[in-house]
Amino acid sequence: MALLEVEDLRVAFGASTAVDGVSFSVAEGQVVGLVGESGCGKSVTSLAIMGLLPKGRGRRARRPVPAAAAEPVGSGLKATTAAPQSITASGGRSRGGADVDGRAVFDGTDLLSLAPAAMRRRRGKDLAMVFQDPLSSLNPVVPIGRQITEVLERHRGLKGDKASKEAAHLLDRVGIPDPARRLKEYPHQLSGGMRQRVLIAIAVACAPRLLIADEPTTALDVTIQAQILELLKDLVETEGTALLMITHDLGVVAGICDEVNVLYSGRVVESAPVRELFARPTHPYTIGLLGSIPRLDLPIHEPLTPIRGSIADVIRWHDGCAFAPRCDRVAASCVEGEPALVGAVHAHRCVMAEEVA
């Protein structure tokens, strides 16, 4: 049994679905990656697990209901404009809240069904999160020492000198020199890399069993990125923490992950152990992602190879493969109903996979 089992997670913001049935698991001491471009639902997935999405109207996200007469995907504008109505069975206005459905079983408890107060007792203690932008993620008017000790106070009952000592120890643990002095400083007095270390120190303050890192290196420059990844790797290895790594950067994936889930338009389109994925990418989207990485061995003026088009605002997997409009290998069978996720260790969601391979 893995530490975290996410089963058929769905998140909808009013009429639009952001995550459409995502399942994956993270075991203790394992690093699992969620990869995909902006808008594929990877951050929403992590926020849903943490219970940090603004509350919706209590209505649980339902499986999108197919339109009575499903329109072919490739029919352009008409299909796009018709999509919102076809997606929501029970439309309705939303105040920006999220409707979440599915299960996220953490150590035997479904986090999604916990009461807010019970979830607050676990957040920051059993499961913690490191965010993308280290400057905006720290409170500008509170000394960083206080921002660390408040979590120690809340979950470990440490106060005063004891808490400060532990905070200094944590800063030292994440590689911040002269920690006692730093405790009194404010976020704006630290560099970007230091701030991210502080955020990591806050996240690991109560030795969480699961750490979720949402693009932890995106806002940092390359050398600092490497240091932060080293630090996270070290935490996983020495503490046995499970790490869910959310990133769009395949370099990060190759450097740290054991398992990878590639997300597209709210669904997992391919999942595999990291070596397997890089050796034998199967889904055309994964292949496109790998192909779009700039290569050092090509001539300088060689143009980059992007995936054409951009991710659709509206998920419409029930019509067929959501990636089909951007896919080079699209065939008629791609738009005949939902493609299933096939395979166990190396799974993919592409009806043309045999041909691709």
Partner 1 sequence: MLRYTVKRLLQLSVALLGLSLLLFAWFKALPGGPENRLLPENATDSQREALRAALGLDEPVWTQYGEFLGRIVRLDFGSSLSSGRPIATELAERLPATVELSLAAMLIAVGLGIPLGYLAAKRRGTWLDFGTVSGSLLGTCIPIFFLAAMLKVVFAQELGWLPTTFRLTAGADFTDVTGLRVLDGIITGEFDIAWDAVKHLILPAIALSSIPLAVIVRITRASVLDVVGEDYVRTADAKGLKPSTVRGRHVMRNAMLPIATIIGLLLGSLFAGAVLTESVFAFGGIGSFVYQATTERDYPALMGFILVIAVFYVVINLLVDLSYGLLDPRVRVRK
Q: Which residues bind partner 1 (CB under 8 A)?
A: 50, 52, 95, 119-125, 128-129, 131, 133, 136-143, 146, 150-151, 154-155, 186, 188-189, 199, 202
**Identity of the residue, 119 or 312, whose beta carbon is nearer to partner 1 in the bound complex:** 119
DSSP bridge partners of 98: 55
* H or E element that contains 151: helix 144-156
Closest CB 148 distance from partner 1, rounded Å: 10
| Nearest one of 215, 212, 197 to 148, comparing CA atoms | 197
Rounded to an integer, what distance in angstroms lies between the CA atom of residue 27 and that of residue 175? 26
Q: For residue 257, what are its two tokens?
A: 């992950």
Rounded to an integer, what distance in angstroms lies between the CA atom of residue 345 and that of residue 273? 7
Rounded to an integer, what distance in angstroms lies between the CA atom of residue 283 and that of residue 350? 6
Closest CB 307 distance from partner 1, rounded Å: 29
For residues 255-290, one letter each, b for 16 or more C-beta atoms within 10 angstroms of the residue's C-beta and e for the rest, the string is: bbbbbbbbbbbbbbbbbbebeebeeebbbbbbbbbe
* H or E element that contains 47: helix 42-50
Whether 266 and 17 have beta carbons less than 8 Å apart is answered as yes
Closest CB 1 distance from partner 1, rounded Å: 24
**Identity of the residue, 203 or 311, whose beta carbon is nearer to partner 1 in the bound complex:** 203
- Within a 13 Å sphere around the CA of 124, how many CA atoms are in the beta-carbon half? 18
Closest CB 164 distance from partner 1, rounded Å: 17
Closest CB 187 distance from partner 1, rounded Å: 9
Rounded to an integer, what distance in angstroms lies between the CA atom of residue 32 and that of residue 191? 28
**Identity of the residue, 191 or 333, whose beta carbon is nearer to partner 1 in the bound complex:** 191
Rounded to an integer, what distance in angstroms lies between the CA atom of residue 11 and that of residue 31? 23
Closest CB 30 distance from partner 1, rounded Å: 21
Whether 321 and 351 have beta carbons less than 8 Å apart is answered as yes
**Identity of the residue, 95 or 308, whose beta carbon is nearer to partner 1 in the bound complex:** 95
Closest CB 25 distance from partner 1, rounded Å: 22
**Identity of the residue, 246 or 260, whose beta carbon is nearer to partner 1 in the bound complex:** 246
**Identity of the residue, 186 or 278, whose beta carbon is nearer to partner 1 in the bound complex:** 186
Whether 289 and 250 have beta carbons less than 8 Å apart is answered as yes
Closest CB 196 distance from partner 1, rounded Å: 12
User: What distances in angstroms separate CA 307 from CA 111, 275, 324, 325, one per listed residue?
Assistant: 36, 23, 12, 11
**Identity of the residue, 184 or 275, whose beta carbon is nearer to partner 1 in the bound complex:** 184
